[in-house]
Amino acid sequence: MYGKKIKQLRKNAGLKQADLAKLVGVSRPNISFWENADYPPLEAIDKICKVLGMELWRFFSEDPPENQLRDIPSRYADLINEISQLSKGEYDDLFEIISIYLRKNKTTSSHYPTITEQDFDKALINYTERYLRIM
């Protein structure tokens, strides 16, 4: 039931299972398992919704899956596609830069402890230099 909805949303976003797995931070078999389950874990659904830029409540609405991604601005869809093509190292670096940014800006998320502006600047310089060396 909900697994089929995950599969349809993934396809609507133009992602392969491996692409979605990379974005969500799980293995491809996890995505396959969730897509084939009638009732995948709520945590899995929540992660997928976040990656696809979709509010969790919309996942459970009665709208057909093909209509549920229509409200995602194209710039987000483009970013999702670009991110899905990064190597694991590049993806990990990008994720770390984002988490540093979130800590600096003291988001309400408890996943990222806050850091000082100096630590943020040092970390950002460090990851920027690493990124430039890769390129």
Structure tokens that stand for 116 in this block: 């000082």
33-43 pLDDT tens trace: 999 998 899 99
Q: Domain ranges in the chain?
A: 2-76, 88-134
User: What is the H or E stretch that residue 9 is in?
Assistant: helix 2-12
Judge if pTM exceeds 0.75: no
**Could you tell me the pLDDT band of residue 109, with boundaries at 50, 70 and 90?**
very low
CATH topology of domain 2-76: 434 Repressor (Amino-terminal Domain) (1.10.260)
